[in-house]
Amino acid sequence: MSTDKEVPYYMDPSFLRGLTQKRITRRTALQGAGAVSMAAFMAACGIGSKPATVAHTNWVWDKATKAGVLDFANWPLYIDTGTDSKGKTTYPSLEQFTKETGIKVNYSEPILDNNTYFAKAAPELLLGKSIGYDIIVVTNGIYLSNYMEQNWLTELDPSKLGNFNQNAAPRLLARGFDPGNKFTIPWQSGFTGIGYNPKLTGRDITSFNDLFDPKFAGKVGMFSETQDLGNLTLRGIGIKPETSTPSDWQKAADKLKAQRAAGIVRKYYDQSYIDALSKGDTWLSMAWSGDIFQTNLSAGNEDLKFVIPSEGGIIWTDNMTIPVGAAHPLDAITYMNWVYQPRVAATMAESIEYITPVPSAQQFIQQDAAAAKKADQPLLQQLAQSPLIFPSAETLANTSYYRVLANKDETNKWLDLFTSVVL
Amino acid sequence: MLLFFLLPIATLAITSLESGDFISGFDFTWNFGNYSRGFNLYSEQYLHAVEYGGSATIVALLVAYPAAYWIAFHAGPRKSSYLLAVLLPFFVSFVIRTLAWETILSDNGVLFGPLKSLNLLPNDFRVLATPVAVTGGLAYTFFPFMLLPVYASLEKIDRGLVEAAQDLFASKFEVFRRVIFPLSVPGVFAGVLLTGIPAVADYVNQDLLGGVGTTMVGRVIETQFEVNINYPLAAALAFVFMLGLLATLIIYQRIFGTEQIMGG
């Protein structure tokens, strides 16, 4: 974990990629679009029409056998790491998994953002070929729903997910884009809210409307990513995104346009918002929870704060999925279930610093803190107590997932409205 | 020519008339709506492209011409060293250099921080996230494309002509106005083309240095292509942009063109 933290953000592969393209990381993920065609998806699964005789999609579990190998594709810097005596990066939790189950993990980090990875995988999947991975991690939103609509994901067997059913945070079992977790199991989650520097704002930020305060004109950062932007604004004006209508979106877009016209917004930022916030170019900004935590850690101070506005915030989840044609599905689902042990989840959370899907991991981090060397103690204690890693039930209840955009018309309407705000 | 020019253009034109979406596929439907929609939504960004790209070209010319002139006529034997010194920074990727500017121009950065604490600048003064930063960034990015052709044409001028003018009692200004400048026009013409075209189409500078309302059409096209996956709309926007550029070039060539450049 120490190695990751000392890597400056500009060495992050996702950042380096951002030099030549719009900066995108797992956190910006959805890049604008969003179209979980829930109706089509549910129809495909047979939900809604005849719940009693649900047809399975890509059901492989009757014939699946253990292969002893797992090909796992993840995002960069998104798992616990260590360094061996030769200076090579190791993955302690994966080694532990191999020791316990005899399954060797070929771990790689080829996913830099959802849209390019989808574009890479789609041609293979379209031809019915395997993409060579048993697990890929996808954020909720348009690309996840694209995989679902095309039936490119393997339906999971709940009977093989005992740990998940027992230990997962309840919030993760009720998600509009995948009710019942038929295709996705959360890897980690994060919040979209407001990040600010109290020294510069001169007061604590609590409300979404603080982003509209003329006192902060030219010092407010907003996201250029339209899903986060639109959904957080909907919450901000008192509308639940999940049940919002296009006329609500119009209200949200109007609110944002007024904010822009009044000269309050400095810029619509991509991942670079965190840079602007830590340099003081912005005083308060839409922000992702994990970034604020990591920035304070790497700067060694507590300058920045993150708040979920009193009106409500947004939650997003990166999900483990088994693409269709995966060669080792049983090994994959074994791993997906394995990480839902609190002890394992704790080890990962100590490294990843996003919302762990296993709330009971908290006690293990506290134990680790007590047992750790003096130098490591404050960080672990901070982690164990952080509401950004172990959010309270009230906090979770005050957050929404993105509005599920049910069809092309809705998607286009959404994109037209909010893209015209940010460009 | 067919493979590398006409084919991509034809593909672009066809794509711009399609409708549909990424998942259910795009179909060719003579959908001219893409054009009207694109133009209605983003006419302001087209104007920005012309405005920032145009002023960046002028700024680059105003800086590059004197520099090239000085190197060509007054740098003596160290001409190539000076030329190298001017061009050296451009061996670094322009994105890295733009990011460096972003840091330098930061509201409380190395440049403005001290000035503000000395009260030489008002506290809310800023350059970053304004059109000035975008224009300056563009001028800086494409500076060598202006300098080199201008320098080349100045360097080529027969010094005998300059001496002849001086022998005929032309003042320094007269020499410049009637001999040197006219002979350097091909270089200026080429420099304006080489700077102006990429500057107008650029989408990186505004992303890193710009702010609200400084978006140029290049970034709109990029967003529609890469983020919204709306290929038809992006293609329509790009096609309009290309036609506009082509029309400007033809007019430009008619007015200022020289036979050397366009071959007649």
User: Does B22 reside within a domain?
Assistant: no
The residue behind tokens 């010194």 is B85
Is B115:B121 a contact under the CB 8 Å cutoff? Answer: yes
What is the CATH T-level fold of the domain A192-314+403-422, as seen in this structure? D-Maltodextrin-Binding Protein; domain 2 (3.40.190)
Chain B residues within an 8 Å CB radius of A260: 212-213
Query: Rounded to whole angstroms, how far apart are CA atoms B98 and B105?
Result: 10
CATH of the domain at B53: 1.10.3720.10
- Matching fold, domains A2-189+316-379 and A192-314+403-422: yes
Mind telling me how many Å the CA of A185 is from chain B's nearest CA? 24
Is A291:A230 a contact under the CB 8 Å cutoff? Answer: no
User: Does B260 reside within a domain?
Assistant: no
User: Does B59 reside within a domain?
Assistant: yes
Could you report the predicted ipTM of this complex, rounded to two decimals?
0.84
Is A7:A116 a contact under the CB 8 Å cutoff? Answer: no
Helix (H, G, I), strand (E, B) or coil at B9: helix
Asked if A115's CB is within 8 angstroms of B213's CB, the reply is no
Query: Rounded to whole angstroms, how far apart are CA atoms B61 and B252?
Result: 16
Kindly report the pTM of this predicted structure: 0.80
Higher per-residue confidence, A11 vs B248: B248
Which pLDDT value is given to residue A412?
Answer: 82
The range of the structural domain enclosing residue B137 comes to: 41-215
**Helix, strand, coil content of chain B in percent (nearest 5):** 75, 5, 20
Chain B residues within an 8 Å CB radius of A303: none
Asked if A279's CB is within 8 angstroms of B108's CB, the reply is yes
Can you give the residue ranges of every domain in chain A?
Answer: 2-189+316-379, 192-314+403-422
User: Does B107 reside within a domain?
Assistant: yes
pLDDT band at A54 (very low <50, low <70, confident <90, very high): low
Scanning A262-376, the segments in alpha helix (DSSP H) are 273-279, 289-299, 329-338, 342-352, 361-371
By C-alpha distance, which of B192, B207, B193 is closest to B45?
A: B207
What element of type H or E holds A234? helix A226-236
Q: What angle do CA A420, B44, A421 make, to 5 degrees?
A: 15
B113 touches chain A (CB under 8 A): no
Mind telling me how many Å the CA of A188 is from chain B's nearest CA? 23
In total, the C-beta contacts within 8 angstroms joining chain A to chain B are 79
Interstrand relation of A135-139 and A69-73 (parallel, antiparallel or unpaired)? parallel
Residues 6+ apart with CB under 8 A from A63: none
User: Does B202 reside within a domain?
Assistant: yes
Count structural domains, chain B: 1
User: Does B228 reside within a domain?
Assistant: no
User: Does B51 reside within a domain?
Assistant: yes
How large is the average pLDDT for residues B232-259?
A: 87
For residue A159, give both structure tokens: 């009977």
Chain A residues within an 8 Å CB radius of B212: 260, 263, 265-268
By C-alpha distance, which of B83, B21, B203 is closest to A40?
A: B21
- Tens-place pLDDT, residues A128-179: 889 999 999 998 887 788 888 889 999 999 999 999 999 999 888 878 889 8
Is A295:A304 a contact under the CB 8 Å cutoff? Answer: yes
Is A316:A140 a contact under the CB 8 Å cutoff? Answer: yes
Name the average pLDDT for chain B. Answer: 89
Higher per-residue confidence, B245 vs A171: B245
Strands, E, within A143-184: which ranges? none
A411 touches chain B (CB under 8 A): yes
Asked if B227's CB is within 8 angstroms of A115's CB, the reply is yes
pLDDT band at A388 (very low <50, low <70, confident <90, very high): confident
CATH 3.40.190.10 corresponds to the domain A2-189+316-379: yes
Chain A residues within an 8 Å CB radius of B107: 279-281
A263-272, A407-416, B16-25, B61-70: range with highest mean pLDDT: B61-70
